[in-house]
Amino acid sequence: MVLDKLGNSLRATLEKVAKSVFVDDKLVNELAKDIQRALLQADVNVKLVLKLSEEIKTRALKEKTPAGITKKEHLINIVYEELVKFLGEKEGKIEIKESTKIMLVGLFGSGKTTQAAKLAKYYQKHGHYVALVQTDTYRPAAFEQLKQLAAKLNIPVFGDKDEKDAVKIYKKFEKKLEKFDLVIVDTAGRDALSDELIEELDQINRAVNPTETLLVLSADIGQAAEKQAQAFHDTCGVTGIIVTKLDGTAKGGGALIACSITDAKVKFIGVGEKVEDLEKFKPENFVGRLLGMGDLEALLEKARDAISEEKAEDLGKRFLKGEFNLVDLYEQMEAMKKMGPLNKIVDMIPGFSSLKMPKDALQVQEKMLKKWRFAMDSMTKQELENPDIISAARVKRIAKGAGIEVSEVRSLLKQYKQAKKMSKMLKGGDPQKLMKKLQKGGPQIKFK
Ligand code: GDP
Ligand code: MG
């Protein structure tokens, strides 16, 4: 199913965002490109794809990340919001007042007659007094088809299979139809858009003067949707869209195109051949399903979980100022575990980005980290904030409390001292000199 494919590629794109280390221009540009590719493959019109991806890009680059969420979460949210907006923001609602008239238009086989019956059932269930009118004189069996669909619903169907003039049929029943609060008018289609069809629609449109004109489009219509939506809209002012056959081999792209051409939103979707297979269209649900809402939640969680760019930057700065304690050291190690080597952090500090750190320096070892965490849990707040006060007696106490070796507590403190030393050198500020020292095997942080 193409819709699945679209969902998959959008999901993969957002996955990339969640996994990435930093949100920067490069990532945003890549994201915009990936989204373009995914939508183009789903038959969404190039112009619209560009508009949407530009919007996402502009927002991602300009908007400030709201407090309480990470840049990544923000970026994923933007994509979600823009897709929802693209599809219509609000759920498609049709207000049924006294004598509301809904007319269905669309090409042959798009699903007008079936949706007419579906809509009738839907609104009858919601307590409305509904009638159906068949004005399709082009297909001889159309009246019979609608009657059959409506038979089980106990909904009256008006039509005349011997009359060839659609307007005459409508006029014939106009008076009788006044007592219903909802009249649904089915119309004829053609295999393709023709002047003849346009002319007929124009006439029936004038005669019925519908409250709502719904364009029925099959989801697999693809790029042709643009031309069709435009022509139908020009003829009878489309106020809403029903996308049918979203249950089958569906490309959703066509529907998206039709929305923005007519500026009318998708109101319902057809998801099967039976009269109950109609769903109200809710953009959030649709995009949620497309992206996999469960997956989206997981993605957002992942983004939340990864160390935030802001935090890394803050750590980097404090490191530079020599203002860090054991808690910072631990956080830094955790950060590195998630982000890879320290050079990613150092990259963010102006002046240091050109430096390449020794590759295997700063590797974090899971086991040791765990032990150090235990050790830190056994320390007092004072000890954590000012490790210099940790005497031999305290080391013993900490090791015992943590259930680890004295030597392991000492290795943690040694690590801390080395890091502090390096931090002071950085504070002194000549990155080149520092680099040379590092290469000569000077003080290195080896988290082993
Ligand atoms: P019309 O020519 O526009 O009136 O189209 P019809 O209502 O006659 O429908 C054409 C075909 O599409 C019929 O075989 C319907 O059963 C089928 N159809 C209509 N809506 C849906 C839908 O939502 N899903 C599926 N799978 N088939 C549908
Ligand atoms: Mg029909």
Query: What CATH number does residue 224 fall under?
Result: 3.40.50.300
The pLDDT value given to residue 3: 63
Both 249 and 137 in one domain: the answer is yes
Ligand 1, closest atom to CA 277? 23
Residue 171 to residues 174, 224, 235, 293, Cα–Cα distance (Å): 5, 33, 20, 49
Residue recorded with tokens 């500020």: 429
The pLDDT value given to residue 235: 93
Q: Is residue 230 part of a domain?
A: yes
The pLDDT value given to residue 336: 58
The pLDDT value given to residue 326: 76
Phi-psi region of 318 (alpha: psi -120 to 50; beta: other; left: phi over 0): alpha
Element (H, E) at 346: helix 343-347
- Does the beta carbon of 189 lie inside 6 Å of ligand 1? yes
Ligand 1, closest atom to CA 216? 3
Distance 244 CA to ligand 2 centre (A): 13
Both 283 and 157 in one domain: the answer is yes
Q: Is residue 446 part of a domain?
A: no
Residue recorded with tokens 């990936």: 34
Ligand 1, closest atom to CA 114? 7
Q: Is residue 93 part of a domain?
A: no
- CB under 5 Å of ion ligand 2: residues: 112-113
Both 134 and 108 in one domain: the answer is yes
Which residue CA neighbors atom 15 of ligand 1 most closely? Answer: 273
415 token code pair: 């690590």
Which residue CA neighbors atom 9 of ligand 1 most closely? Answer: 111
Ligand 1, closest atom to CA 272? 24
Both 109 and 244 in one domain: the answer is yes
| Rounded (5°) CA angle 34-67-296 | 40
Q: Is residue 447 part of a domain?
A: no
The pLDDT value given to residue 42: 75
Round to whole Å and give the CA distance between 448 and 295. Answer: 36
- Does the beta carbon of 72 lie inside 6 Å of ligand 1? no
Both 69 and 200 in one domain: the answer is no
Both 432 and 355 in one domain: the answer is yes
- Does the beta carbon of 22 lie inside 6 Å of ligand 1? no
Per-position b or e across 148-183, b if 16+ CB within 10 A of its CB: ebbeebebbbbbeeeeeebbebbeebeeebeebebb
Residue 272 — pLDDT band, cuts 50, 70, 90? very high
Ligand 1, closest atom to CA 186? 4
Distance 111 CA to ligand 2 centre (A): 7
- Does the beta carbon of 118 lie inside 6 Å of ligand 1? no
Q: Which of 265, 291, 317 is the last residue of a domain?
A: 291
**pTM recorded for the entire structure:** 0.65
Distance 274 CA to ligand 1 centre (A): 9
Q: Is residue 94 part of a domain?
A: no
The pLDDT value given to residue 238: 93
CATH assignment at residue 351:
1.10.260.30
Both 129 and 269 in one domain: the answer is yes
Ligand 1, closest atom to CA 106? 3
| N-to-C CA span, the chain | 50
Q: Specify whether the CB–CB gap between 186 and 136 falls below 8 A.
A: yes
Distance 88 CA to ligand 2 centre (A): 27
Element (H, E) at 288: helix 283-291
- Does the beta carbon of 109 lie inside 6 Å of ligand 1? yes
Question: Which of 307, 298, 292 is closest to 23 using CA atoms?
Answer: 307
Q: Is residue 91 part of a domain?
A: no
The pLDDT value given to residue 295: 60
Q: What percent of the chain has pLDDT over 90?
A: 38
Q: Which of 240, 260, 291 is the last residue of a domain?
A: 291
Shortest-distance ligand to the CA of residue 105: 1
The pLDDT value given to residue 171: 97
- Does the beta carbon of 415 lie inside 6 Å of ligand 1? no
The pLDDT value given to residue 429: 56
Q: Is residue 95 part of a domain?
A: no
Can you say whether the dihedral through the CA atoms of 375, 378, 383, 384 is positive or negative? positive
Q: Is residue 44 part of a domain?
A: yes
Both 116 and 68 in one domain: the answer is no
Both 70 and 120 in one domain: the answer is no
The pLDDT value given to residue 323: 67
Q: Specify whether the CB–CB gap between 28 and 60 falls below 8 A.
A: yes
Both 136 and 34 in one domain: the answer is no
The pLDDT value given to residue 427: 61
Q: Write down how long the chain is.
A: 448
Element (H, E) at 19: helix 2-19
- Does the beta carbon of 378 lie inside 6 Å of ligand 1? no
Ligand 1, closest atom to CA 139? 2
Q: Specify whether the CB–CB gap between 336 and 446 falls below 8 A.
A: no
- Does the beta carbon of 210 lie inside 6 Å of ligand 1? no
Residue 362 — pLDDT band, cuts 50, 70, 90? very low
Distance 108 CA to ligand 1 centre (A): 9
Note down the domain range covering 365: 297-439
Q: Which residues contact 99 (CB under 8 A, 6 or more apart)?
A: 178, 180, 181, 183
Both 184 and 282 in one domain: the answer is yes
Residue 443 — pLDDT band, cuts 50, 70, 90? very low
Distance 244 CA to ligand 1 centre (A): 7
Both 281 and 313 in one domain: the answer is no
| Total number of domains in the chain | 3
CATH assignment at residue 46:
1.20.120.140
Round to whole Å and give the CA distance between 86 and 51. Answer: 10
The pLDDT value given to residue 372: 82
Angle between helical axes of 406-428 and 326-339 (0-180°, round to 10): 90
Q: Which of 39, 58, 86 is the last residue of a domain?
A: 86
Residue 244, strand partner residues = 218
Residue 112 — pLDDT band, cuts 50, 70, 90? very high
